[in-house]
Structure formats: C-alpha cells, structure tokens
C-alpha cells in the first residue's frame, strides 16, 4: 500500500530515490517524503501530495548525500498530510523510519512510551515504531541494530521498513514481516525497495527479503540477520525486468498500454509451455502436482478484486473440463470464517501482485489446515508465489495501472491451461480435443488484437455515457464474471457507481433500477445462454433501459435490439471472457479520461493491497 526506496553508495542519493519513488507511486500517492544524509548532516523533506511535488521541494535545496530513503504513502493511520508523511523521526532524532504495513499494537506501545515522557507529533503507527527503537536504544545503551531487533520483537502486525540511525551513518537497515521488501545489490552501492521496479535500472541482482529478515546494509556489504531466530544466508537472484517494461512507451496511461499489451501478454503466458506440434502443455511450476490436482476432491479458489473475478471464470472452466467441484471465495472472507478444509482439498490463490494481504493470509491458513496450496501470480519473487506449494506465473509483465487488465486475461488463460491439462490427464479430454484446445489457445492473441479495434467505438460510447451516475452490467454463465469485472473497472477509475449481475437475477431486484437514464451493458457473445440473454435484453428494453451489448462479430439478433454494439471475434466458450472483457476495459478507460480522473492512480486506491 506504500512505496519505499532506499540508497546507500557513492553516488548522489537524492535523485535516485526520488525517481525510484515515482516508479512506486502506483502503490500509494497521497503524501511523500525523503531523508538524505551526507554522513554528518541529515535533512528530511516531506509533503502532502505526489512525488513530483516532493521533487519540486527538494530541487530548491542544494543539499544532497550518498545515503537516502524515501516513501510514497497510502494512508492507513492518520490523514494524508505533511506531519503524517514518512519518514517519521523519533522524538530525539536518533532514528528515521519509512514503513509499509500496520503496527497492530501501536496504541498500547504509544501509551507506554508517553508514560515514559516520550513525545509524539504525528498520528502514525510508524512514529511509534521509531520512538520505540530510540527508547530501547537510549535506555539500554544498545547498538542501533540491537534496538531495532528488540523493537521489532515487541510489535505485532506487518512491516516492510527502512531505518537510518544518525549515530551510525554508514548503514541502512531493512526488515520485513508481511510487507514486501527487495534489496538491490550493486557495485559499491546497494538499494532497498518495495519491489524491483525502482532497482532494475541500476542492477538486476536482487534479494527478496523473507518474513523475519533484518538486512544491515552498507554501500559495499549486505548482511542478513533474523529478527527472531537464526542467521540466514542471502539468496541473490537475477531479476529479468527491463526498464522499458515499466515505462508508458508512448501511451498516455499505463492502463491503456496494458490493455493493448494483452495480445503479447497472453502469448507470453503460453510461450514455452506448448509442446512441439501443439502436442501438449508443459506447466513446469505444476509438473509435480498435476496428479494431485486431478485427484482432488475440491478446489477452493481464494482471491480479491479482479483476481476473484478470474477465479469465478476458473470455476466454470475447471468444472467443465475437469469435473472437480470448485468454490470461489473472497480471500478476506475465507481467512476469517474458520473454513472447513479437508485433506483432499486444494486451495488455489490468484493474485497479480502476489502481495495482497488477505490472499496471503488465506493461503497461510489453508497450509496450516493441511491443504495443498497452489498459486497463480504475475510477480516473480512475490510473497504468495514463494509461500505456495507450487504454482504458475502469468508472465504478463509488470502491471502498473491500478486497474487490473492484462492480469485478468492472463489469469483466465492460465486457468484454462491448467484445466486442459488436468482434464486430459483424467481422460476427460481425448487427444484430438486436447490438441484442438491448444490450437485455439495459440490463436487467441490475434483475436484479442481484433477485439482491440473496438477502441474507437468505446471512445464514442464514452462520450455518450461519461456523465452517467449509475450503470448495470449483465452476463450469464462464464460471462457473468466478465460483467462484474466490467463494472469494477468502471467504478474504480471513473467513480461511477456500477454493478455486475447475473442477467437472470435482474428480475429479482435490479430491474427496479432500469429507466431511460440507466446504461445497461450486456455481455452477450454467442454462448449457450445466448437465447436467454435475448429475453433479458427485451426485459430491459421494455423499461426504456439503454443497452450497450458486447456481441460476437456478425451477430444478427442482439445487435438489432441493442442501442449500441461492440463486437469481438468468435471463439470457443472458454476464451469468450478474454475477448468480451476488452471492450469493457476500453469503455471504462475512455469514460474515466473524459471525466478527468487519474486513470493510473485512482483516488483512495493502491495497486497492491498489502494491508488488510
Ligand atoms: C482491480 O482492478 C483492482 N486493482 C483490485 O481489485 C485488485 O484486483 C485486487 O486488489 C487484487 O490484487 P492482486 O491480484 O494483486 O491480489
């Protein structure tokens, strides 16, 4: 939910950290700050607002140094203002902290410290952490490292932190519990960041911190220690992220770039996973567990937001091709409802970021109760991808826009590949059918290219409907989750209230909403529920509702009934969600732009919800 960047080395640190924070603004952007030290003098600059405002502020100062750490915030404790912005400084100035996460027991610690005459200025839990470190440091005559370890043993909750102690200027400290943190290993310089995107332009060598790790970082050395138990050895990985992948490359917004990247992203999802002559699939990450999946009594999919919608599509796909019962749950509900999990169950987590706190907590609960836990993630090295027993990466490339687009389509493609492979291994798909499905898969990217041609039509419709106050999205079967996904896209970036609903459910309530002011988007490609959705459209028309229909190219029935039509190519049912969602992504994008909304960083949202 927040972005952290740190630098210690021989180069001027200020611009390195500021530019790094810009790459993390998709994680949070309501206030920002930076601490800079030249070893003797340390200055802190903070502002309520975006990183660019912080940059304008620091550019007017002459001061720079070779150590810096910065933060871009999504407020959890305390309103987004300068006082609550990070870095937070302990009351006597010894400790400076930037933090991503939530200290659950901060108020009890704060009361104890106040009773010991410790003064506070902000409303943040992070200031409590900084003051706790300083209190232990001064009272116990400890080293900074000892004080940090002791403080972190007293807090409950989650943190990804960078810490600077003014009395030990040659070091930065980094620690994580529940919030991601990556160390970049350079030549005579080291980096800290919430993910690899600020680091890759400087080094491809990274270390993903694990829970309970404390990193003591000098410019030429990095030592990993454990906060609660034995010392650990760092595992340096080569990250294969290229700078170009995290720039807009000429698009006005990351979201539009990522919508148009979907043909390439889908191709990358199956690239290297189809055997020669399209004779089979090879999902290496699941290779050792396919038989376990095939013999599962039940699959429970846990996810949030768009990933949850992909999971709903997965339910239809897996039950159709594998005949295994599937339940799809919001991870936030699953983790708190004391679920019944039996030995033969498989829990499948779907998460683009691989850091969503609720989904991470759900898989930890599932593992505690003996389930086999699998993952579908997009970020290599993410917590969920490292804590599941096995899994598959979607290989969609970095998704920076807060509104998920290519994550959804590549998640559905991944679920389809899993279902095809399990269905084949269970003998439910013969060789011919199995190979044909693989062939259909390989033709999907060019079908998505065709669907993207609806861009101009989506813009035209956006001009008509940009001032709507409500919208209803309807679909049936595996297009019902697409209706929900289309509604989520619209509401989260244009702030128009929108609901996705199973079309048949409309007569049980939502039909009361229909009037001539209500745009009704109907996802109505040629599937087996087509005739039924024709009736639903008639019900809407009878009440003067305005129909925007997503139909299969050449449709002769609904296209004549609807007020507006967006066409997508024909495909087998399993891939209809991948095609039908594209016009809805484009429609929500253009409406948001016409409304002057911040498409890539919508208000109140963040890309990775790493707090509950
Ligand atoms: C979708 O557009 C949102 N950004 C949000 O609902 C997102 O899908 C959800 O927070 C889950 O994120 P994850 O896939 O990274 O776990």
Q: Are the C-beta atoms of residues 414 and 376 closer than 8 Å to each other?
A: yes
Helix (DSSP H) and strand (DSSP E) numbers for the chain? 20, 24
Q: Tokens at residue 227, please? A: 């906060």
- Tell me the best of 74, 258, 304, 401 to mutate to test the pocket of ligand 1, counting ligand atoms within 8 Å of each CB and taking the most: 304
Cα 608 to averaged position of ligand 1 atoms, centre (Å) = 7
Question: What is the per-residue pLDDT across 565-590, written as a single tens digit (0 to 9) for each?
Answer: 999 999 999 999 999 999 999 999 99
Nearest CA to ligand 1 atom 16: 351
Please identify which of the residues 2, 47, 165, 377 carries the catalytic annotation.
2
Q: Are the C-beta atoms of residues 347 and 293 closer than 8 Å to each other?
A: no
Q: Are the C-beta atoms of residues 81 and 48 closer than 8 Å to each other?
A: yes
Categorize the per-residue pLDDT at 28 as very low, low, confident or very high, splitting at 50, 70 and 90: low
One-character DSSP codes across 5-63: EEEESSS-HHHHHHHHHHHTGGG--SEEEEEEE-SS-EEEEEEES-HHHHHHHHHTS--
Within 10 Å of residue 15's Cβ, how many Cβ atoms? 15
111 is catalytic: no
Distances (CA, A) of 582 to 163, 226, 349, 456: 44, 46, 24, 13
Find the helix or strand (DSSP H, E) in which 506 lies: none
Q: If you average pLDDT over residues 558-563, what whole number do you get?
A: 95
Cα 149 to averaged position of ligand 1 atoms, centre (Å) = 33
Q: If you average pLDDT over residues 485-504, what whole number do you get?
A: 97
Say whether pLDDT at 181 is over 90.
Answer: yes
**According to the model, what pLDDT value does residue 235 have?**
76
Cα 607 to averaged position of ligand 1 atoms, centre (Å) = 7
Q: If you average pLDDT over residues 549-553, what whole number do you get?
A: 97
Q: Are the C-beta atoms of residues 322 and 576 closer than 8 Å to each other?
A: no
Cα 107 to averaged position of ligand 1 atoms, centre (Å) = 30
Cα 306 to averaged position of ligand 1 atoms, centre (Å) = 5
Q: Tokens at residue 27, please? A: 């994680």
Q: Are the C-beta atoms of residues 97 and 162 closer than 8 Å to each other?
A: yes
Closest ligand 1 atom to residue 303 Cα is 16
Question: What is the per-residue pLDDT across 36-93, written as a single tens digit (0 to 9) for each?
Answer: 999 999 999 999 988 889 999 998 888 999 999 999 987 666 677 889 999 999 999 9
Q: If you average pLDDT over residues 373-392, what whole number do you get?
A: 92
406 is catalytic: no
**According to the model, what pLDDT value does residue 76 have?**
66
Of the chain, the percentage scoring pLDDT greater than 70 comes to 96
Residue written as token pair 């919030």? 179
**According to the model, what pLDDT value does residue 229 have?**
61
**According to the model, what pLDDT value does residue 231 have?**
63
Distance, in Å, from the CA atom of 309 to the CA atom of 564, rounded to the nearest integer, reads: 25
- Tell me the best of 356, 403, 492 to mutate to test the pocket of ligand 1, counting ligand atoms within 8 Å of each CB and taking the most: 356
**According to the model, what pLDDT value does residue 394 have?**
95
Categorize the per-residue pLDDT at 8 as very low, low, confident or very high, splitting at 50, 70 and 90: very high
- Contacts for 536-542 with beta carbons within 8 Å, 24 or more apart? 536/474, 536/476, 536/503, 536/504, 536/506, 537/561, 537/562, 539/506, 539/507, 539/511, 540/506, 540/511, 540/514
**According to the model, what pLDDT value does residue 50 have?**
85
Nearest CA to ligand 1 atom 6: 305
**According to the model, what pLDDT value does residue 27 have?**
66
Which of helix, strand or coil describes residue 561? helix
Q: Tokens at residue 376, please? A: 């579908």
Nearest CA to ligand 1 atom 2: 403
Question: What is the per-residue pLDDT across 209-249, written as a single tens digit (0 to 9) for each?
Answer: 988 999 999 999 999 998 876 666 777 777 776 666 667 77
Categorize the per-residue pLDDT at 363 as very low, low, confident or very high, splitting at 50, 70 and 90: very high
Please, is 167 exposed, middle or buried when counting C-beta atoms within 10 Å of its C-beta (0-12, 13-18, 19+)? exposed
Q: Which of 475, 477, 451 is nearest to 570 (CA)?
A: 451
Say whether pLDDT at 154 is over 90.
Answer: yes
What integer best gives the mean pLDDT of the chain? Answer: 93
Q: If you average pLDDT over residues 168-190, what whole number do you get?
A: 94
Q: Could you tell me how far CA 341 lies from the centroid of its own chain?
A: 26
**According to the model, what pLDDT value does residue 276 have?**
87
Length of the chain: 612
Nearest CA to ligand 1 atom 10: 305
Cα 350 to averaged position of ligand 1 atoms, centre (Å) = 10
Distance, in Å, from the CA atom of 205 to the CA atom of 536, rounded to the nearest integer, reads: 55
Residue written as token pair 């969609």? 396
Cα 588 to averaged position of ligand 1 atoms, centre (Å) = 16
**According to the model, what pLDDT value does residue 380 have?**
79
- Rounded to 5 degrees, what are φ and ψ at 32? -150, 160
Cα 555 to averaged position of ligand 1 atoms, centre (Å) = 33
Closest ligand 1 atom to residue 404 Cα is 2
In angstroms, the first-to-last Cα distance of the chain is: 10
Our CA angle for 171, 174, 176, nearest 5°, is 170
**According to the model, what pLDDT value does residue 74 have?**
74
Distance, in Å, from the CA atom of 387 to the CA atom of 409, rounded to the nearest integer, reads: 24
Q: What is the largest CA-CA distance in the chain?
A: 81
Cα 227 to averaged position of ligand 1 atoms, centre (Å) = 31
What lines the ligand 1 site, CB under 6 Å?
A: 304-307, 351-353, 356, 359, 402-404, 407, 488, 492, 608-609
Nearest CA to ligand 1 atom 7: 305
Categorize the per-residue pLDDT at 24 as very low, low, confident or very high, splitting at 50, 70 and 90: confident
**According to the model, what pLDDT value does residue 527 have?**
85
Say whether pLDDT at 292 is over 80.
Answer: yes
- Note if the pTM is more than 0.85: no
Q: What is the 3-state secondary structure (H, E, C) of 405-447?
A: CHHHHHHHHHHHHHHHHHHHHCCCCCHHHHHHHHHHHHCHHHH
Question: What is the per-residue pLDDT across 221-230, written as a single tens digit (0 to 9) for each?
Answer: 999 998 876 6
Please identify which of the residues 46, 406, 457, 607 carries the catalytic annotation.
607
Q: Which residues are within 8 A (CB) of 84 and not within 5 positions of it... i.e. 6 or more apart?
A: 31, 73, 75, 77, 78, 122, 123, 124
Please, is 506 exposed, middle or buried when counting C-beta atoms within 10 Å of its C-beta (0-12, 13-18, 19+)? buried
Q: Are the C-beta atoms of residues 356 and 342 closer than 8 Å to each other?
A: no
Distance, in Å, from the CA atom of 352 to the CA atom of 306, rounded to the nearest integer, reads: 9
Q: What is the dihedral of CA 604, 605, 608, 610, to 10 degrees?
A: 30
Q: What is the DSSP letter of 141?
A: T
Cα 27 to averaged position of ligand 1 atoms, centre (Å) = 12
Question: What is the per-residue pLDDT across 432-447, written as a single tens digit (0 to 9) for each?
Answer: 999 999 999 999 999 9
Q: Which residues are within 8 A (CB) of 203 and not within 5 positions of it... i.e. 6 or more apart?
A: 184, 185, 186, 187, 191
Distance, in Å, from the CA atom of 355 to the CA atom of 103, rounded to the nearest integer, reads: 17
Cα 487 to averaged position of ligand 1 atoms, centre (Å) = 14
Closest ligand 1 atom to residue 305 Cα is 6
Distances (CA, A) of 67 to 5, 22, 165, 170: 11, 18, 11, 8
Q: How many CA atoms lie within 13 A of 483 on its CB side?
A: 28
Q: If you average pLDDT over residues 550-568, what whole number do you get?
A: 96
Question: What is the per-residue pLDDT across 451-483, written as a single tens digit (0 to 9) for each?
Answer: 999 999 999 999 999 999 999 999 999 999 999
Categorize the per-residue pLDDT at 381 as very low, low, confident or very high, splitting at 50, 70 and 90: confident
Q: Which of 33, 40, 53 is nearest to 98 (CA)?
A: 33
Closest ligand 1 atom to residue 402 Cα is 4
Q: Which of 367, 369, 308 is nearest to 333 (CA)?
A: 308
Categorize the per-residue pLDDT at 410 as very low, low, confident or very high, splitting at 50, 70 and 90: very high
């Amino acid at each position: 939910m927040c972005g952290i960047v740190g630098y210690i080395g021989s180069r001027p640190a200020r611009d390195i950290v500021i530019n790094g924070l810009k790459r993390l603004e998709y994680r949070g952007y309501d206030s920002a700050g930076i601490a800079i030290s030249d070893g003797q003098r340390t200055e802190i600059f903070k502002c309520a607002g975006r990183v660019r405002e912080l940059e304008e502020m620091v550019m007017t100062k002459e001061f720079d140094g070779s150590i810096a750490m910065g933060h871009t915030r999504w407020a959890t404790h305390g309103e987004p203002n300068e006082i609550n912005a990070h870095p937070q400084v302990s009351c006597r100035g010894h400790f400076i902290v930037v933090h991503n996460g939530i200290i659950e027991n901060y108020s009890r610690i704060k009361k104890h410290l106040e009773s010991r005459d410790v003064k506070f200025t902000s409303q943040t839990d992070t200031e409590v952490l900084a003051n706790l470190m300083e209190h232990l440091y001064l009272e116990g005559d400890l080293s900074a490292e000892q004080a940090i370890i002791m403080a972190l043993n007293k807090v409950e909750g989650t943190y990804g932190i960078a810490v600077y102690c003014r009395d030990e200027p040659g070091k930065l400290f980094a620690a994580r519990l529940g919030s991601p943190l990556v160390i970049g290993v350079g030549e005579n310089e080291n980096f800290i960041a919430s993910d690899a995107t600020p680091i890759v332009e400087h080094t491809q060598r990274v270390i993903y911190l694990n829970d309970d790790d404390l990193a003591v970082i000098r410019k030429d050395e990095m030592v990993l220690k454990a906060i609660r138990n034995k010392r650990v050895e760092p595992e340096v990985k080569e990250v294969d992220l290229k700078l170009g992948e995290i720039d807009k490359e000429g698009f006005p917004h990351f979201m539009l770039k990522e919508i148009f990247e979907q043909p390439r992203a889908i191709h990358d999802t199956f690239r290297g996973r189809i055997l020669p002559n399209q004779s089979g699939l090879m999902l290496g990450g699941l290779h050792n567990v396919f038989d376990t999946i095939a013999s599962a009594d039940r699959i429970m999919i846990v996810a949030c937001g768009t990933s949850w919608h992909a999971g709903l599509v997965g339910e239809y796909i897996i039950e159709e091709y594998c005949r295994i019962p599937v339940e799809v749950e919001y991870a936030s509900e699953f983790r708190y409802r004391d679920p019944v999990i039996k030995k033969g169950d498989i829990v499948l987590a779907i998460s683009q970021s691989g850091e969503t706190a609720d989904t991470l907590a759900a898989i930890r609960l599932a593992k505690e109760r003996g389930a086999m836990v699998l993952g579908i993630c997009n970020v290599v090295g993410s917590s969920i991808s490292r804590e599941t027993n096995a899994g598959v990466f979607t290989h969609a490339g970095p998704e920076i826009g807060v509104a998920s687009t290519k994550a959804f389509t590549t998640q559905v493609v991944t679920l389809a590949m899993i279902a095809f492979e399990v269905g084949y291994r269970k003998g439910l798909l013969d060789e011919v059918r199995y190979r044909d499905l693989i062939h259909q898969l390989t033709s999907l990217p060019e079908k998505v290219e065709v669907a993207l041609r609806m861009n101009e039509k989506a813009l035209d419709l956006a001009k008509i409907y940009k001032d709507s106050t409500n919208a209803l999205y309807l679909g049936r079967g595996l297009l019902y989750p697409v209706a929900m996904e289309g509604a989520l896209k619209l509401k989260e970036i244009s702030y128009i209230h929108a609901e996705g609903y199973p079309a048949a459910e409309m007569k049980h309530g939502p039909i009361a909403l229909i009037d001539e002011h209500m745009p009704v988007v109907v996802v109505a490609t040629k599937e087996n529920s087509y005739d039924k959705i024709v009736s639903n459209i008639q019900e809407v028309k009878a009440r003067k509702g305005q129909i925007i229909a997503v139909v299969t190219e050449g449709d002769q029935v609904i296209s004549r009934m609807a007020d507006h039509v967006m066409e997508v190519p024909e495909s087998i049912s399993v891939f209809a969600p991948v095609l039908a969602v594209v016009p809805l992504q484009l429609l929500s994008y253009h409406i948001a732009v016409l409304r002057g909304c911040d498409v890539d960083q919508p208000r109140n949202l963040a890309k990775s919800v790493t707090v509950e």
